[in-house]
């Protein structure tokens, strides 16, 4: 291999990071357009808050179903084809949801189709990035996650602006067009990690002799799955219902969306800070601290009533919950061989999606039954403590001696 080729390969890993951040931003932004459109859809159609929120629950359930399958497929055929299929399916799902004439049809199109297509983006990209980095792995994964965290500051305000000038149906159609125009070309930049792209060269492509069954039954995988589930169950309800909760407190829609955007901005900082801390102190130890902080901060929403207090709590909450998520991929790479990263990260994404599925529908049920979100935040605190206790087990596991990524 020439010196020029080696140099190009060394620098191309940052192109992978940039492409992953862009793809994640648009995909997550499209998925989380529903919280912004929640009230406009309800006012236009007469559908209940619970019914519309259930579409988000269905989406996360579909993500759970698809995550391991897409991840395992990316291990076999490479991440580019899988991410491309997800981008095309995502655009189609949004377009179909915009034409739904009934609540079940909307739940199917936005929930099932959009959800399963989003699953094709996250796990393959995260697995791909972990394979390109030996050093600064936590930072690299955090930067991709930070790109996803740009969605509340870019896509969400865009959707809010669109729905003020157009119907929610037209707004969704525009978002579908953006997905196709931006994501499809960006997938062409995605490449397999060199160690997997050229296994004939020998070396670490296969990693240690761990079988798939052994990996899925191992203590690191089971703890990873449980912690992922509890973590996302903690923050899914507060994330989804932040805009609606602020509106019920008398805050105008655009101002309420700005709370969501600030949460995303703080989340970018959290991803970078916790990524750097993970590289320095270890991902598992950093995860434990971050999860405890997430559990405590979520209680702050109980006292939030004015815009200023919402900004304060949303900033702290976004910083903690967003900083948590990239660490799971790093821990997975520390405990499992590169050749099964898509499967393992897909498994954690499946658990995360199940956790995320709880918040929207439970929050809707709580509000519809009590006209208050108080018990949503109390329940989130209890789940957050469970995630913290589960994550403590990571610090007691011996670190696996795995070969280099490339």
DSSP, residue by residue, 252-300: -HHHHHHHHHHHHHHHHHHHHHHHHHHHHH-HHHHHHHHHHHHHHHGGG
Q: What is the pLDDT of residue 398?
A: 60
Helices 3-31 and 137-149 meet at what angle, rounded to 10? Answer: 40
d(CA 291, CA 231): 7
Q: What is the pLDDT of residue 3?
A: 56
Residue 404 carries which DSSP code?
Answer: P
Q: Which two three-digit tokens encode residue 107?
A: 């739940």
CA distances from 194 to 79, 200, 206, 403 (A): 13, 11, 12, 13
Q: What is the pLDDT of residue 9?
A: 62
Q: What is the pLDDT of residue 332?
A: 82
Q: What is the pLDDT of residue 297?
A: 92
Q: What is the pLDDT of residue 7?
A: 58
**Dihedral in degrees, nearest 10, Cα atoms 212, 217, 220, 225:** 100
Place of tokens 């931006």: 182
Q: Do residues 82 and 124 touch, judged by C-beta distance below 8 A?
A: yes
Low-confidence ranges of the chain (pLDDT < 50): 1, 199-208, 401-406
pLDDT tens, residue by residue, 85-128 = 999 999 999 999 999 999 999 999 998 999 999 989 888 888 88
DSSP, residue by residue, 4-58: HHHHHHHHHHHHHHHHHHHHHHHHHHHHTHHHHHHHHHHHHH---HHHHHHHHHH
HSE at residue 381, side-chain half, CA atoms within 13 A, is 12
CATH 1.20.1250.20 fits 8-192+207-396, yes or no: yes
Domain boundaries, the chain: 8-192+207-396
């Amino acid at each position: 291999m020439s010196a020029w080729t080696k140099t190009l390969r060394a620098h191309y890993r940052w192109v992978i990071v940039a492409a992953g951040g862009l793809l994640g931003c648009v995909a997550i932004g499209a998925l989380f357009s529903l919280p912004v459109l929640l009230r406009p859809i309800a006012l236009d159609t007469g559908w209940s808050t619970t019914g519309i929120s259930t579409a988000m629950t269905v989406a996360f359930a579909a993500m759970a179903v698809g995550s391991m399958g897409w991840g395992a497929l990316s291990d076999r055929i490479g991440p580019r084809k899988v991410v491309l299929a997800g981008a095309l399916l995502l655009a189609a799902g949004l377009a179909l949801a915009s034409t739904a004439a009934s609540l079940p049809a909307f739940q199917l199109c936005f929930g099932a189709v959009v959800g399963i297509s989003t699953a094709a983006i996250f796990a393959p990209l995260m697995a791909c990035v972990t394979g390109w980095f030996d050093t600064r792995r936590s930072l690299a994964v955090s930067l991709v996650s930070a790109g996803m965290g740009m969605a509340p500051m870019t896509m969400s305000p865009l959707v809010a602006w669109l729905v003020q000038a157009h119907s929610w149906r037209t707004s969704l159609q525009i978002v579908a067009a953006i997905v196709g125009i931006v994501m499809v070309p960006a997938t062409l930049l995605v490449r397999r990690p060199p160690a997997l792209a050229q296994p004939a060269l020998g070396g670490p492509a296969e990693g240690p002799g761990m079988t798939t069954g052994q990996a899925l039954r191992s203590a690191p995988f089971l703890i990873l799955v449980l912690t992922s589930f509890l973590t996302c169950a903690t923050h899914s309800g507060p994330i989804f219902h932040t805009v609606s909760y602020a509106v019920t407190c008398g805050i105008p829609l655009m101002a309420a969306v700005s709370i969501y955007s600030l949460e995303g901005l703080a989340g970018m900082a959290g991803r970078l800070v916790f990524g750097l801390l993970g590289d320095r102190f270890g991902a598992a130890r950093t995860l434990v601290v971050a999860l405890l902080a997430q559990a405590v901060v979520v209680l702050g929403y109980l006292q939030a009533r004015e815009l200023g207090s919402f900004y304060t709590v949303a900033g702290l909450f976004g910083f903690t919950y967003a900083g948590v998520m990239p660490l799971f991929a790093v821990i997975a790479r520390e405990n499992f061989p590169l050749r099964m990263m898509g499967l393992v990260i897909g498994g954690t994404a499946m658990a995360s999606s199940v956790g995320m599925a709880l918040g929207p529908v439970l929050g809707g049920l709580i509000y519809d039954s009590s006209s208050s979100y108080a018990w949503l935040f109390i329940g989130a605190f209890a789940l957050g403590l469970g995630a913290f206790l589960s994550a403590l087990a990571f610090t007691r596991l011996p670190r696996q001696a795995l070969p280099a990524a490339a």
